[in-house]
């Protein structure tokens, strides 16, 4: 099937439907995440789960990308007791943070890395917004660019991370907002951006 067709993701989901490991498995299109919560008196079984995943992939004529496969442990106290995972004799990289489905997760369950990521991403988009303003685009066009390009960055999955922000991170976002309100935008545009709120951190179902 040609890559990029709308049937591709649906076909892949149907293809991996029989992948049912013994631990918790989270599937999203071509992204598969295995998780486990071992008890105090039990050891990790992720090594066996990884072997079963490799065997399933081989039986279905598929290969796992070792470079994109990561391992993260949330409990540092048990780090030395958990064996390293391997795929075809290639050791899986054990990381302290990684991006999954657009979110930057850390093993301490803090959002410092993700807040830094979205601030940098929004900053680069605001630069293009300034270039568009200098090029003479109308206020409506600048507003459309903000609503469709910049605002989704700050809103993405905010129900997951917003309520877990520390006061330091919240202050950073607020100062970031005030900083860019002082940029050389037209007064009407600044009023428009202010009314829409730069960071949509409050969940309104």
Residue span of the structural domain in which 177 resides: 112-196
* pLDDT averages per 10-residue partition of the chain, 205 residues: 68 78 80 81 81 86 84 71 80 87 86 87 84 85 84 84 82 65 48 45 38
Predicted pLDDT at 2: 62
21 part of a folded domain: yes
104 part of a folded domain: no
Q: Are 185 and 172 in contact (CB under 8 A)?
A: no
Number of structural domains (the chain) is 2
Beta-strand relationship, 90-91 and 93-94: unpaired
202 part of a folded domain: no
CA distance 14 to 12: 5
């Amino acid at each position: 099937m040609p890559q990029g067709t709308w049937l591709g993701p649906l076909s892949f989901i149907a293809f991996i439907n029989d992948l049912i490991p013994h631990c918790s498995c989270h599937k999203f299109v071509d992204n598969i995440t295995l998780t486990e919560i071992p008890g105090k008196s039990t050891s990790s079984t992720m090594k066996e789960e990884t072997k079963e995943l490799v065997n399933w992939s081989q039986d279905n004529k598929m290969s796992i990308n070792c470079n994109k496969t990561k391992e993260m442990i949330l409990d540092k106290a048990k780090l030395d007791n958990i064996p390293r995972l391997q795929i075809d004799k290639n050791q899986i990289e054990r990381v302290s943070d990684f991006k999954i489905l657009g979110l930057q997760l850390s093993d301490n369950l803090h959002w410092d890395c993700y807040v830094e990521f979205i601030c940098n991403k929004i900053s680069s988009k605001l630069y293009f917004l300034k270039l568009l303003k200098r090029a003479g685009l109308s206020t409506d066009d600048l507003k459309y660019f903000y609503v469709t390009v910049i605002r989704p960055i700050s809103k993405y999955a905010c129900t997951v991370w917003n309520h877990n922000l520390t006061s330091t991170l919240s202050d950073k976002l607020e100062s970031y907002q005030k900083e860019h309100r002082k940029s050389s935008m037209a007064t009407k545009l600044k009023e428009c951006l202010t009314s829409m709120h730069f960071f949509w951190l409050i969940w309104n179902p």
